[in-house]
Structure 1
Amino acid sequence: MFKFAPLAMIGIIGAAAPAFAQDADAAGFTGARVEGIVGLDRNQAYDDHKDGAVYGIGAGYDVALGHSGKVIAGLEGEINDSTAKVCGGAGTAADPRLCARAARDLYVGGRVGTVVGGRTLLYAKAGYTNGRYKFTSDDGSSRTTLARTDLDGVRVGAGAEYALGPNTYVKAEYRYSNYEQGVSRHQLVGGFGMRF
């Protein structure tokens, strides 16, 4: 019974699409927006990587460019946190275990995209990101906090946003962030947002 549910949902969405398509071309992707995100976070440091969860909130403002209204550009910001921690070393006095734990991350940047099929926005993004990391050392007998530091970096990414209605949307996005001190992140996130 449940195996036919996705087909039924596609049919319902398809039937509703013509009524919304005309408004979605421009108005469905412009104006102020807020969103929640959650996804996978792969942190890389010390020649190793570990996966965790990323979660946060974002906001932005988008405008339509040109006469067609299909090219969208905007500014956005985001704050998120992560459960990821990456470590290297044996945890002995001769080879202490060094760990970098991801904490809050701030992002501000821009995006540009194009409306496809009336309800989908495909976009690319780039901007500045600042990630907070806690660095620790464990020699097997004691753990020491080496530093809590904010690392500057650059984020690039691409995604798709689908308008559920005039004021709501869902999105999927991949982004890569490269920070100082050899730390980087790959994230795959999904989100739900509202426009005002």
Structure 2
Amino acid sequence: MRKLMVATLLAGATVATPVFAQDVGPTFTGPRVEAILGYDRTGAGSDVDNDNGHDDQKIDGLLYGVGAGYDVNLGSAVVGVEGEYTDSTAKSSRTDFSDQFGFGRVKQGRDLYIGARAGILANPATLVYVKGGYTNTKLDVLAGDTNQETDTAFKLDGWRIGAGVERAINANTFAKIEYRYSKYEDAHINFANGATSDEFGIDTDRHQVVGSVGWRF
């Protein structure tokens, strides 16, 4: 009788194991959304020397926003596409027209990003990845000695690369940390009256260190 009970329990466990496994969905695959928070710094590029002892060499602040993407788990590797909408508290600290950031007295505005990423699974719950894509950001022009926006803005086009680590908390939630570098090389001005300038070349760098918490569907 005892042997019969043991055999019955073992058989039940064999049948139940696949059922339990189905309840835990695969990680790092499918659509995802996330909240983003981190450090943001924009400054002159390597081809620009604006260190005159007066002007702001950089503007930095808090980056915040949302992101979405879609990943495909290939087994030991993951590939995907993603997009972001972020904003920032960074702005020029100078109030004198003679002492300005490279674009004048400005506030970092919204940033749009679309790109792709690829990575390898360091273990079943940890993804190490690199990323790259297109970024378009805005610098809102401020009145010289106030924080009032003038409805004039610089629009900057560039590219972004980065790397990060994502950790699956469970089948649906995840957290990640990453570093991103953006290079802006083209810009135009949107004036308050609705006119737009011709495009002109620039050399502007942006560095970000961000953390994200998200949900995978």
The equivalent of 1:53 in structure 2 is 62
Contact 2:111–2:137, Cα closer than 8 Å, also in 1: yes
Residues 54-113 of structure 1 show CA distances to partners (whole Å, capped at 9, x for unaligned) of 000000000123xxx01100000000000011366x825xx3532232110000000000
Q: What value does the CA root-mean-square deviation take over the aligned residues?
A: 2.6
The equivalent of 2:129 in structure 1 is 123
The equivalent of 2:13 in structure 1 is none
Matched, 1:175 2:172: no
Q: Which runs of 4+ in 1 moved over 3 A?
A: 143-147
SS at structure 1 position matched to 2:170: coil
- Residue 150 of structure 1 and its aligned partner are, at CA, apart by 1.6
Using the alignment, how far apart are the partners of 2:67 and 2:86 within structure 1?
8
Contact 2:181–2:206, Cα closer than 8 Å, also in 1: yes
Name the aligned partner's letter for residue 85 of structure 1: K
Corresponding pairs, count: 165
Using the alignment, how far apart are the partners of 1:82 and 1:120 within structure 2?
29
Structure having the larger proportion of residues in helix: 1
TM-score by length of 1: 0.75
TM-score by length of 2: 0.69
Matches within 5 A, 1:143-182: 145=150, 147-179=152-184, 180=186, 181-182=202-203
The percentage of aligned residue pairs carrying the same residue is 45
Structure having the larger proportion of residues in strand: 1
The equivalent of 1:32 in structure 2 is 31
Residues 105-133 of structure 1 show CA distances to partners (whole Å, capped at 9, x for unaligned) of 00000000001121100000000000011
Runs of 5+ consecutive residues of structure 2 not aligned to the other structure: 1-20, 45-49, 52-56, 187-201
